[in-house]
């Protein structure tokens, strides 16, 4: 019933199981001829090494655990996919523990689940404050990387440079001639939101522009719509930067309903570059984070820890790029 084991391969190839193990792990001191014999036996039997056994003896599996919330959103989903691709290239599998809420208890539980499986390392996509706290009380010996986590915590961290992205978006609008830029933000407890607000403020300050109060949204088109209804009735608003593209979509629809045209009356910039942003009406100028680069960086940081068996304190920041489309124009006056 069970498939062939290493000893079966060894018997067929006329060597010891240890030699089979050496071939499998690419150990150098194996005669070429032996290697071939073993490999032939492997294919003949359709042998597949049992990773559970290996994990048992080495105390570590070739699996990386990812903790994430709401993997339905475009950002997390892209990141997850990129992470999986990159990990696969390095011979690692990825298991996901998605959590409904990002509170301390949920995160800890998710991490626990991963630890029970003796994952080689953990990537936490932890964009909110409370998640950072949950990570404080973690066993210190398991390699860990946080993505978009708290920049102030002493944990290996990879982030999209929210600040620079938001700064560019805002400057792009100011450069078009707008006196100031309004901002529809993400939820208050997300670091992403905070960073984007900060970049927006910086750009306004640098230009000596007035800083209007940020309008708080929650990433969804629905909340964008509500914020948009408010902004649409304020004639002084000529430029809006939303914290993501779905917010922008909601704003777009509200503006449309109030008869304010984009970009003629109001210019708009989003964040994320979801694939359909180019097909909004009008096509949305936005900021594109490089998820592949984030995944690559996270995995590098993680693998470095796994291999050196040390817990590093490195951090990497990936700069996003502005994608200009047709939702930005000069103000009319």
Instruction: Give the Cα separation of 260 and 253 in Å (integer).
Output: 10
Sketch the per residue contact string, 198 through 227, with a copy of itself: x for CB under 8 A, - otherwise.
Answer: ----------------------xxx-xx--
137 makes contact with a copy of itself (CB under 8 A): no
* Closest to DNA by CB, 45 or 278: 45
Interface segment toward DNA; rule CB under 7 A; list 52-60, 135-143, 203-211, 264-272: 52-60
- Pick from DNA, a copy of itself, none: which does 80 bind, CB < 5 to 8 A by kind? a copy of itself
For residue 109, what are its two tokens? 């539980």
DSSP string, 204-236: HHHTT---PPPEE--SSHHHHHHHHHHHHT-TT
What is the phi/psi pair of residue 19, to 5°?
-65, -40
For residue 146, what are its two tokens? 């946080």
Coil vs helix vs strand at 7: helix
Of 332, 327, 322, nearest to 282 by C-alpha is 327
Q: Judged by CB under 7 A, which of 30, 73, 278, 311 binds DNA?
A: 30
Residue numbers 5-24 binding DNA by CB under 7 A: 5-7, 14-19, 21-22, 24
Are the beta carbons of 251 and 242 closer than 8 angstroms? Answer: yes
For residue 269, what are its two tokens? 């910039």
Closest separation in Å from C-beta 19 to a copy of itself: 20
Are the beta carbons of 269 and 55 closer than 8 angstroms? Answer: no
Burial class (CB in 10 A: 0-12, 13-18, 19+), 128: buried
Residue given tokens 């570590």 in the structure block: 60
Residue numbers 54-93 binding a copy of itself by CB under 8 A: 55-56, 59, 61, 63, 70-72, 74, 77-78, 80-81, 84-85, 88, 93
Closest separation in Å from C-beta 282 to a copy of itself: 8
29 makes contact with DNA (CB under 7 A): yes
Coil vs helix vs strand at 145: strand
Which residues make up the interface to DNA (CB under 7 A)?
2, 5-7, 14-19, 21-22, 24-25, 28-31, 33-34, 49-50, 53-54, 56-59
Which residues make up the interface to a copy of itself (CB under 8 A)?
1-3, 48-53, 55-56, 59, 61, 63, 70-72, 74, 77-78, 80-81, 84-85, 88, 93-98, 100, 112-118, 139, 141, 220-222, 224-225, 246, 249-250, 252-253, 256, 275-276, 278-281, 283
């Amino acid at each position: 019933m069970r498939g062939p084991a290493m000893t079966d391969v060894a018997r067929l190839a006329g060597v010891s199981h240890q030699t089979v193990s050496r071939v499998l792990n690419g150990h150098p001191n194996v005669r070429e001829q032996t290697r071939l014999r073993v490999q032939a036996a492997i294919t003949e039997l359709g042998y597949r090494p049992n990773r559970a056994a290996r994990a048992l003896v080495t105390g570590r599996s070739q699996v990386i655990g990812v903790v994430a919330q709401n993997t339905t959103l475009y950002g997390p989903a892209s990141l997850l996919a990129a992470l999986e691709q990159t990990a696969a290239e390095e011979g690692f599998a990825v298991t996901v523990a998605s959590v409904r809420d990002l509170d301390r208890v949920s995160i800890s539980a998710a991490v626990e689940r991963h630890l029970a499986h003796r994952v080689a390392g953990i990537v936490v996509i932890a964009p909110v404050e409370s998640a950072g706290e949950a990570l404080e009380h973690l066993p210190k010996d398991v390699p860990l990387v946080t993505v978009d986590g708290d920049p102030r915590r002493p944990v290996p961290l990879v982030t999209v440079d929210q600040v620079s992205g938001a700064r560019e978006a805002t400057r792009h609008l100011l450069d078009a001639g707008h006196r100031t830029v309004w901002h529809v933000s993400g939820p208050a407890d997300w670091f992403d939101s905070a960073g984007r607000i900060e970049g927006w403020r910086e750009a306004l300050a640098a230009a000596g522009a007035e800083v209007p109060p940020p309008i708080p949204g929650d990433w969804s088109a629905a909340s964008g719509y509500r914020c948009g209804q408010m902004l649409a009735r304020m004639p002084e608003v000529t430029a809006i930067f939303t914290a993501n593209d779905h917010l922008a979509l909601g704003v777009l629809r509200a503006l449309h309903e109030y008869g304010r045209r984009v970009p003629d009356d109001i210019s708009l910039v989003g964040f994320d570059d979801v694939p359909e942003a180019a097909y909004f009406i009008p096509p949305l100028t936005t900021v594109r984070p490089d998820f592949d680069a984030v995944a690559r960086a996270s995995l590098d940081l993680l693998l470095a820890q796994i291999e050196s068996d040390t817990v590093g304190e490195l951090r990497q920041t990936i700069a996003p790029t502005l994608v200009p489309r047709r939702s930005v124009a000069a103000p009319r006056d």
